[in-house]
Structure 1
Amino acid sequence: MDREEALLRKRLIELSQMAFHKGIVIFSDFLNLNELHILHTTPKDLFYTEYETFGGYEMSERQIAAFLPDALCCASGYPITPLEILPNASKFAVGMSHRDYLGALVHLGIERGKIGDILVYEKSAVVFVKREMAAFITEQLTRIGRQSVRVKEQEKPEETYLPSCQLLTGTVASVRLDTVLAVAYPLSRSKIVPLIEGGRTFVNGKLILSNGFHLKEGDVISVRQLGRIVYEGELSVTKKGRHLIRIKKFG
């Protein structure tokens, strides 16, 4: 365990201890995939309370941990506010990337842990932030690059926030992590293997370092800097014994 991981684990345990002694729900900042992996692999007996995680919508990647004293739950009480970022002149607006939106937020001096997922659409985006940052961002974020923008809070059902996706099919020799990733992304095996062995691939929130990890129907695979896919299962087997599979790719 390196120093950074040890410090995060210690901090999460301290939050759990605080929730236990105060008898209230205590929240972390947004945790990235690697930080969530550290949370989920920390022995449960080190925590003083149970915990749950949520990021504002069902398919969220960055999530907040809620440490829960006995008999308490956190069904809808997470301090998360979705903000919609819109161009002021939509007629002349140009599409912007995830990096553009994130860069503008960080440029305001906001810590990364206060910002959750950013869902990018054709000419707008929705960003999930810690509630205490919502008013500041709404007032201060007026420009991204050369484009003038406005920000407003959203109060829509969780089901509204689903990233765009496409269904893909392909044949593989076996339903291994590396072969399924090759269907999702136009990358050679020589480029996919380093992604997995380099600690950038998570299945259902758990870090996977084995290329030959066998997937099950419904598994959610997240690859840092590339996105997420869901393995939807096997459709058929060809005469040559290859498996025709279907995946859902979010982007």
Structure 2
Amino acid sequence: MKNKERLVRYYQGTDNGALAARLIELAEYVCKGRPYAVSDFVSPGAVQIGETICAQDTDVHLQCDGGYEGAERVRMAFVRNGYEGAVDFSIRACRLVWDSRYRLLTHRDVLGSLMGLGVERAKFGDIIMAEDGAVLLLDANMESYVQQHLQKVSIVTVQIAPYDLKEIAPRQKKVKEIKTTVASLRLDAIVASGFGISRTKAAAAIKGERVQLNWQPIKSSSREVRVGDCISLRGKGKMEVGEITGISRKGRTGVLLKRYI
């Protein structure tokens, strides 16, 4: 693979070093003759790494699939240019159903139950919540194991069955625009304003590694954000810095935040 060593050096020592190494290895398999090679489920940040790898080598291109239109977590395929066959992403869906009295069960509850079974996060994709259950996207090799062993979410008994990917509706993003002013464009100030918490709590969340900036862990409260940055706070959701609207008479910076709800 062209420029392999340069790519490895670029990502070494970063939080993405191990992930980048795995993706570079997949791309190399294709360069050595495979028609394609598919990754585990990854976040949007990993897709950016995949695009960077493909940009360094004209022999491969990237395809992504999360099981349905608009999926956030996807599997990436490095595909040899000229290959005209289909790519098998090996994605399946399961439908979880529970008593509607327990509608307060959350995405975190389902995620925790799966992790409690010993299933690696990379082996399943989006968890689509509904009032009386959820749809889980997962690696085809994990389908029978999850169906056999996932009997409860939290303390609630669940029923689980295969689900047709074609039945999953495209993901519709609902956006709430927040126009506010901040003392500075520091990450803790933006997190506080966008998620409606105190700046002290925002700083604590960043220190506790509950905040990601552009899908990457961030530990510095003083990091300045820019237009287009995506910020997530575990348990609160995601938002994007949409626009810097100017400086007020009191010297505060106006920002437009787009929070996904």
TM beyond 0.5: yes
Distance 1:175 1:221, change over 3 A: same
Give matches, 1:55-134, under 5 Å. 55-56=66-67, 57-58=69-70, 60=72, 62-72=73-83, 78-87=89-98, 89-90=99-100, 92-134=101-143
Distance 1:197 1:66, change over 3 A: farther
Give matches, 1:212-227, under 5 Å. 212-216=223-227, 218-224=228-234, 226-227=236-237
Provide the C-alpha distance between the structure 2 equivalents of 1:151 and 1:201, rounded to a whole number of angstroms. 34
Does the CA contact (< 8 Å) of 2:185 and 2:225 recur in 1? yes
Give matches, 1:155-174, under 5 Å. 155-156=165-166, 160-162=170-172, 166-174=176-184
Displacement of 1:133 in angstroms is 2.8
Q: Which amino acid aligns with 2:180?
A: G
Q: Which amino acid aligns with 2:129?
A: V
> Which of 205-214 and 117-126 deviates more?
205-214
Corresponding position of 1:26: 37
Give matches, 1:126-145, under 5 Å. 126-138=135-147, 140-144=149-153, 145=155
Is 1:11 the counterpart of 2:25 in the alignment?
A: no
Displacement of 1:96 in angstroms is 0.7
Is 1:233 the counterpart of 2:243 in the alignment?
A: yes
Provide the C-alpha distance between the structure 1 equivalents of 2:173 and 2:134, rounded to a whole number of angstroms. 10
Is 1:180 the counterpart of 2:190 in the alignment?
A: yes
Corresponding position of 2:202: 192
Provide the C-alpha distance between the structure 2 equivalents of 1:121 and 1:165, rounded to a whole number of angstroms. 19
Unmatched 5+ residue regions in structure 1?
none
Does the CA contact (< 8 Å) of 1:13 and 1:46 recur in 2? no
Does the CA contact (< 8 Å) of 2:63 and 2:77 recur in 1? yes
Is 1:211 the counterpart of 2:238 in the alignment?
A: no
Unmatched 5+ residue regions in structure 2?
1-11
Q: Which amino acid aligns with 1:214?
A: V
Provide the C-alpha distance between the structure 1 equivalents of 2:158 and 2:96, rounded to a whole number of angstroms. 10
Identity of aligned residues (%): 27
Q: TM-score, normalised by structure 1?
A: 0.71
> Which of 138-147 and 94-103 deviates more?
138-147
